[in-house]
Structure 1
Amino acid sequence: MVERLRNALPRRGRAVVVTGASGGVGRATALAFAARGDRVALLARGREGLAATADEVQRVGGEALVVTVDMADAKAVDDAAQKVADAFGHIDVWVNNAFAGVFAPFTEITPDEFRRVTEVTYLGYVFGTRAALRHMLPRDRGTIVQVGSALAYRGIPLQSAYCGAKHAIQGFNESLRCELLHSRSGVRTTMVQLPAVNTPQFDWVLNRMPGRARPVAPVYQPEVAARAVVHAAAHGRRREYWVGGSTAATLIANAVVPGVLDRYLARTAFEAQQDEGAHGATGNLWSPADGPHGHDFGAHGRFDEESRPVSRQEWMSLRRGQVGKVLVVGAGALAARRLARLVRR
């Protein structure tokens, strides 16, 4: 299904594709692009969530193109990209974000389930990237943003399929980035590594644990992630962005003392990823959680009360150059004062 929705304003802004746009980070990201005046193509399986996202895009003054697609289907993804190019004229930004997961020990995940998570979460990014390049390379311009996670570097228990896919995305994206640099292409690719985010995924993930799935604290609102993705799309020369102090701490610890982190996660991560209470909605591994007669889940999960609306680390990361200049100037001023004291002596 393809449906184009627009308000009375003239066409303007970049042509942006966001996969997994029916909820969570994808939905918040689509709205962030729309608020900047970009035209946004919304790709996902769930019709209810896509329709609601399109309505929100219009309310913030944007233009939406709704395309229902399973990102694990390479041909369907190619067809979706062509529909976007036909409607918008070209594709400036492609955001890979769609994913699926199973919340269970590895030995309790079936081969078909593991394959499905890999096809959606990893191959969906591969197919999306290939489709985007087909339209970007001839124009020698465009930016592909891979929405990653701290789990692209650091696997945790109960999410082996998802962590494996995110690790694969990391390696794939690095290879592609090198190839684009080698060919001196004007097309850029970058990756945004996210912390735990307050999204509905924890109520629709296929869950075989006794407790209700939850993110490991600290938890950030999806708008924090969306701001980073929008920034990355405008500054694609940088290879990756870390969002949230917990992401930075995890990646640094994993690089320095991975064995210690193994033992820490083995001791704490099972309990930290479960809440008391009955499981939420049926898993969305094989079909959308919102349909065919379901409801819209929105961008936020059930953790609003504990979630952080801002990240100081993100602010510094997005302004790394400015922060560096301030530190250099400050260090220079301090050195000058110390030198002046020595001279007066």
Structure 2
Amino acid sequence: AADRIEAELGPVDVWVNDAMTSVFAPFTEIEPEEFRRVTDVTYHGVVNGTRAALRLMRPRSSGHIVQVGSALAYRGIPLQSAYCGAKHAIQGFTESVRTELMHEDSGVRISMVQLPAMNTPQFRIVKSRMPRTPQPVPPIYQPEIAARAIVWSSEHNRREVYVTGITVATILADKVASGLLDRYLARTGFDSQLTDQPAPEDAPHNLWRPVPGDHGAHGDFGDVAHRRSVQLPLTLHKGAVLTTLGAIAASAVTVVVRSGRR
């Protein structure tokens, strides 16, 4: 497929890996073959996609690979052990490949965009063994925010992009208070991922094959999903933000010094 794209459209400059599926259930209720399937799609899909992209990009030392990650690449939560495990694996895999590309002084870049909970159709078609229908962990964001971050990442050499404040907060909390976060998620992590609606029996899911039809880009939580992220502009324009803060700090120091001389 990659060769055909290049033959018909020209060299691949940007490659985005975003394959995923999941099983919503406690780990002990996920069958081994189901866990393996989630790993194959979500993790090995990224591995194989990266391999295909590098086969095209490395010979010309040019191109950018973007891995669609998640705050769950750093912090595991209940009911999503297979998905969280795959996202953690993608994080480690990407760091390893990045250092190998740097070692050979390659012009190929690889980035990871860490997303928050998104209002996408995945919660409508994910396999679940829970009595109520699944939902993203609030706060929830519209997919256009993720799309903007992915496009920006493909155009800039930033190793990671944290899309919202909750992504940053989750990652930082796991680094400084992981035990406290364990207890918090044990208490709240189940109910926060379930709606009040009973799960329909024999609902179609995409674990083994796609669910037919065009499901669009948006899920069922548009009435509560945020359309903007305060954190994203700060992340995308980090240099300008730091420069501005530095200038403000320098001005403040100057004022203090001058006041002290009076």
Shorter-chain TM-score bucket reads over 0.9
Equivalent residue for 1:151? 72
SS in 1 for 2:77: coil
1:210, 1:190 → 2: CA distance?
37
1:279, 1:134 → 2: CA distance?
44
SS in 2 for 1:95: strand
Equivalent residue for 2:193? 273
Equivalent residue for 2:219? 301
Q: 1:87 offset after TM fit, Å?
A: 1.2
Q: Larger relative CO (CA 8 A, sep 6+): 1 or 2?
A: 2
1:242, 1:183 → 2: CA distance?
27
Equivalent AA in structure 1 for residue 205 of structure 2: G
Is contact 1:203–1:279 with CA below 8 Å preserved after alignment?
no
Equivalent residue for 1:43? none
Q: 1:208 offset after TM fit, Å?
A: 0.2
SS in 1 for 2:38: helix
Equivalent residue for 1:82? 3
Q: 1:337 offset after TM fit, Å?
A: 1.0
Is contact 1:212–1:275 with CA below 8 Å preserved after alignment?
yes
Q: 1:278 offset after TM fit, Å?
A: 3.7
Post-superposition Cα deviations, 1:151-178, rounded to whole Å, max 9, x if no partner, equal 0000000000000000000000000000
Equivalent residue for 1:283? 205
Q: Which sections of structure 1, spanning at least 5 residues, go unmatched?
A: 1-79
Equivalent residue for 1:248? 168
Normalising to structure 1: TM-score of the pair? Answer: 0.74
Question: Are 1:177 and 2:113 counterparts?
Answer: no
Is contact 2:73–2:84 with CA below 8 Å preserved after alignment?
yes
Post-superposition Cα deviations, 1:113-149, rounded to whole Å, max 9, x if no partner, equal 0000000000000000000001101111000000000
- Aligned residues: percent identity? 57
Equivalent residue for 2:230? 312
1:126, 1:223 → 2: CA distance?
25
Is contact 1:100–1:284 with CA below 8 Å preserved after alignment?
yes
Equivalent residue for 1:211? 132
CA RMSD of aligned residues (A): 0.9
Equivalent AA in structure 1 for residue 166 of structure 2: S
1:134, 1:144 → 2: CA distance?
12
Equivalent AA in structure 1 for residue 242 of structure 2: G
Q: 1:122 aligns with which of 40, 43, 57?
A: 43
Q: 1:86 offset after TM fit, Å?
A: 1.1
Normalising to structure 2: TM-score of the pair? Answer: 0.98
Q: Which sections of structure 2, spanning at least 5 residues, go unmatched?
A: none
Structure 1 runs of 4+ aligned residues shifted over 4 Å read none
2:255, 2:8 → 1: CA distance?
61
